[in-house]
A and B are shown apart, each in its own frame.
Chain A
C-alpha cells in the first residue's frame, strides 16, 4: 500500500513518518511514536478512550487518519503530564478522588476534562456529566470522576 509523508507535531516535538493512508492517528501515536498512553477500547468512536487534542480540540484519534493530522498539533495524555514526574491539576484531582480503577479509560478522560475545563472553567454538575458523556468507564460508575472534575474546577 502506498505510503504518504506526514509531519505532525506531537506533544511539542515534530514527528515525520511515511504512513499508509488507512493508519489511524491512534495507531500512529501508539505504534509510530511509541506513545502507548492513548488507549483503544472500541475503535468506532464511542468510548472516548483514545481522546487526544488535535489543534486543541478533543477528538477521537481512532476516527482520524494520521494523514488528516499532517501539519497539525496533537497532544496526548503524555503531553499533559508534567515532565518532572508530578501530576497536572486534573490528574491530581483524579488521584485525590479515586477517579480511576483499572485505568484503561483514564487517559481519555484526562484529555477530555482538559478540554472541558479550558472551555468551561466553572461547569455545573449537569455540564460536567454532559462533558464526560463521550467517555465510557466500566469500573468507577463515574462517581470519583465527577468529584475529580468538580475539584479540578475548584467547585
Chain B
C-alpha cells in the first residue's frame, strides 16, 4: 500500500524513474561475478599482509623479536609499531603509535605487520614473531569500567571518556518526585556487531617518482579517507588518490579508516612495494569495530491517564579501547514521536579492554529501544493496552512543528498516521482475539509495537556529496559523485533523479563513484544522508544542465525555451514533433566556442552541491512484530512483521524496502541471535560464524510494507533519509512482542537480551518463581 500526498513536481515533464521500482544499474555486474571489490585488486609486485595480534586484553610489550620472521620464505618486510610510526603524524586517539609499542589493550590488537609474497607466507612468518608480554589485569565489563576498578590504559586516571548532560537533567528528578506514577528500569544492551559480508580490506601503492599514494579501500567515505591518509603521511591531499570500488556492506564499520588500514599505506611507502591486506573473519569479528554495548538507567513518569510527564535517561556506552565517543543523536531523539514535556538525559562513554566501538546502523538505536520498551512497561503498570498508551501520547500532525525537550524540531512527521495504518494492517483487535484463542491452545503469541523518528542527513549541512554531470559527444550522460556505495543502491537512485530531470533514458547514463581523483568532493555515507545530500545535488546539477541544453536548443530551433520539451534525450518544440534536436546534436553545437550562443561557455557540464542550514530531516515509521514463543524450548519465531513508514518522496520503493528489510533483520538478529561475547578474562568467544549467529533465510519473516509519502519541507527533492530506521525500531518491536507473549507467565518486562532460547526459559522461570 502506498499513499502519496501531492507534491510539487512542476519542473518535471514526466516523472518516470523517481518513484518507480527501477531495477538497479549495479546489479548485472554484481550478479555476473564482475564486481570489483578491494579483494579483487591485484598489482604487480604486490605484497600481502598478516598481522601478529595480541593474545591478551592488556599487557606490556617487553620485547619484539622479528629476526626469524624476517628470514622466512617469501618475507618482504616485518614492521613494528615503532617503525610504522617513525615518520608519520599519528592521530591523537591512537595514543602515540600506529600499532602499539608499549602496551596492548584488547585481544586481537595488531602489534606487528608481516608482509610477504603471499598471504600464506605472511601467515607462516607471523608465527615466527616472538613478542614478550607482561600480562596486566584488564577491565572488560562495562560496570567495572564505570567503577574505575582498573584502567583500560595505564596512562589514564579514569576510564570515563566523556559525560554530557542536557539542561533538563538537573531538574528532571523534581518532576519525577511529583509525578503520580514513575517506572524505573535498568536496561542492558549486549554487544553486537556490524558484520558486513565483505570484511575490511585495503591495497596501497606508493609511486616515489611522483610522490603519489593510491589506495584501494573498502570504505564509506572516499574523500575523507584521502584526507586521513594525506594527513598521516604528511602529503598534500591531491597526492593521495582513494579508489573505492564495490563495497560489500559496511553499516558503520567502514566509516573511519582504522589503524590496520592506515598501516598498510605506510608500509607501501616504507617497503616501496604495493601492499594488500584483506581482513579475515576472525579478525573482523574479534578485532574489527564493535557496537551496541550500552547500559541505561531510565525512569518514565506519567499521570493517571498514562500521559507522559517526564523521562530521565542516564546512559553509558562502552567504546572499547580506542573507540570514538558518540551516541550520535542518542540523547536528542529520546522522546521520539511522543509529547514528553521534560526529558533529562546524561550520556557517558567509558573505555574497556575490548575492541573499539564504531557507529552501527542507527548508532542511537538505544533511544528507541528504551523508550518503546518503557512504554510497554508503563502500560502494564497502569493497566493500559500498549496501543492505548501510545495513542494518548503520540504527536499528531496538526501539532507540528513541535520542538522536543531535547532540542529537535519536527517539521513534518506522520508518526500518528503510521501507527494507525500499521495497526489497521495488523487488525489489532482481531489479533488480540486470536492471541486469546491460541493461548487457550497453549500457544503464546505477542504483539510488539515500536514507533521511531529517525534523524537523517545530519552531516549534509557540513558538506553534501557533490554531483557532476556531463553530456558527451555521443549525447550520452556521464555522472560522477563524491560518495561511494556500500550496497545502498546509490548508483541507481542518483541516476533515476538525473534521468528524470534531464529527460534521458536511465540506460544512457553512466556513473563514477568513489574515485577521489575523478569525482567532486563529498563526505562519508552515514546517518542516512545520501538521498538528501547526493540526491538534491544531482537534481541541482541536472536542472542546471537542462537549462543550458534548452538554451542551446532554443537558438538552434528558433523557439522559446518555454516551448521546448525533452523526452529520451530528444528536445522538441511542443506541438511541432518534426522540430527536434538530439542531445548529440546539442553536444556538437556546445563543443565549440564558435557555435554556442554568444556569451555562453562551450561544453555541457554542471556541478551541483546541495546546501542547507537544516540540521536534520526526520523520517518516521511504526513497526509491529508478532512473535510466537515456544515455551517448551524458549524458541521465538517472528510470525508477522509490519512496517508503515514515511521517508518523504520515495526515489525507488525497492531500495526503500530493501533498506527497511536489511535493518529489520539486523535488529531481529541482534535481539534473538547475535551476541558478541567476551569471557571474564577478556577473551573473545564468538569469533566465527558458528559462534556469532547472524540470521539466515529460515529465521526471517516476510516483511509487510506500507508507505506514506509526504514531501520533506527541508529539501527540494522532498526526500527523508531512512537507511537506519529498520535497525533502530526492530529491537524494541521484538522485545515487546516477546514480553507480551509471556504475559500469562507473569513476565512484565524484558530488560536484557539476547533472547536466546535459554534466556527466554530463564525469563519464564524467574517470573514464575516470583509468582
**A interface, CB within 8 angstroms of B:** 20, 22, 30, 35-44, 46-47, 49, 76-78, 81, 87, 91, 94-96, 98, 100-107, 110, 128-130, 132-146
Q: Given the complex of chains A and B, what is the CA–CA distance between A132 and B698 in angstroms? A: 8
Residues of B in contact, count (CB < 8 Å):
53
Q: Distance in Å from the Cβ of A51 to the closest Cβ of chain B?
A: 12
Contact assessment for A142 and B39 in the assembled complex, using a CB-CB cutoff below 8 Å? no
Interface of A is mostly: loop
Contact assessment for B489 and A39 in the assembled complex, using a CB-CB cutoff below 8 Å? no
Known: A40-B39, A103-B487. A129 touches B33 (CB 8 A): no
Contact assessment for B696 and A132 in the assembled complex, using a CB-CB cutoff below 8 Å? yes
Contacts of B34 on A, CB cut-off 8 Å? 37
Contacts of B486 on A, CB cut-off 8 Å? 102
Known: A139-B662, A142-B665. A129 touches B31 (CB 8 A): no
Residue of B nearest to A35 (CB): B33
Interface residues of B in 472-501 (CB under 8 A from A): 486-489
Q: Given the complex of chains A and B, what is the CA–CA distance between A12 and B489 in angstroms? A: 33
Contact assessment for B33 and A76 in the assembled complex, using a CB-CB cutoff below 8 Å? yes
Q: Given the complex of chains A and B, what is the CA–CA distance between A104 and B486 in angstroms? A: 10
Question: Can you identify 15 A-B contacts, CB atoms within 8 angstroms?
Answer: A30-B40, A39-B37, A40-B39, A41-B248, A100-B31, A104-B196, A104-B248, A110-B31, A129-B698, A134-B696, A138-B251, A141-B661, A141-B665, A143-B703, A145-B697
Contact assessment for B698 and A133 in the assembled complex, using a CB-CB cutoff below 8 Å? yes
Known: A22-B120, A98-B654, A103-B487. A41 touches B199 (CB 8 A): yes
Contact assessment for B196 and A143 in the assembled complex, using a CB-CB cutoff below 8 Å? no
Contact assessment for B249 and A100 in the assembled complex, using a CB-CB cutoff below 8 Å? no
Contacts of A44 on B, CB cut-off 8 Å? 281, 688-690
Contacts of B37 on A, CB cut-off 8 Å? 36, 39, 104
Confirm or deny: B658 has a beta carbon within 8 angstroms of a beta carbon on chain A: yes
Interface residues of B in 4-36 (CB under 8 A from A): 21, 23-24, 26-35
Contacts of B771 on A, CB cut-off 8 Å? none
Q: Given the complex of chains A and B, what is the CA–CA distance between A142 and B27 in angstroms? A: 16
Residue of B nearest to A82 (CB): B32
Q: Distance in Å from the Cβ of A61 to the closest Cβ of chain B?
A: 13
Q: Distance in Å from the Cβ of A13 to the closest Cβ of chain B?
A: 15
Known: A78-B32, A98-B24, A101-B487. A143 touches B658 (CB 8 A): yes
Contact assessment for A102 and B120 in the assembled complex, using a CB-CB cutoff below 8 Å? no
Residue of A nearest to B661 (CB): A141
Contact assessment for B700 and A136 in the assembled complex, using a CB-CB cutoff below 8 Å? no
Contact assessment for B487 and A102 in the assembled complex, using a CB-CB cutoff below 8 Å? yes
Q: Distance in Å from the Cβ of B51 to the closest Cβ of chain A?
A: 16
Known: A101-B489, A130-B698, A142-B665. A87 touches B32 (CB 8 A): yes
Contacts of B198 on A, CB cut-off 8 Å? 39, 41, 102, 104
Residue of B nearest to A93 (CB): B31
Known: A95-B31, A132-B696. A43 touches B197 (CB 8 A): no
Contact assessment for A137 and B688 in the assembled complex, using a CB-CB cutoff below 8 Å? no
Q: Distance in Å from the Cβ of A2 to the closest Cβ of chain B?
A: 13
Listed from nearest, the 8 A-B pairs whose CB atoms lie closest are A37-B33, A102-B487, A104-B248, A103-B30, A141-B665, A141-B661, A77-B33, A46-B689
Q: Distance in Å from the Cβ of A71 to the closest Cβ of chain B?
A: 24
Contact assessment for A143 and B657 in the assembled complex, using a CB-CB cutoff below 8 Å? yes
Contact assessment for B661 and A103 in the assembled complex, using a CB-CB cutoff below 8 Å? no
Q: Given the complex of chains A and B, what is the CA–CA distance between A78 and B689 in angstroms? A: 26
Q: Distance in Å from the Cβ of A136 to the closest Cβ of chain B?
A: 6
Q: Distance in Å from the Cβ of A123 to the closest Cβ of chain B?
A: 12
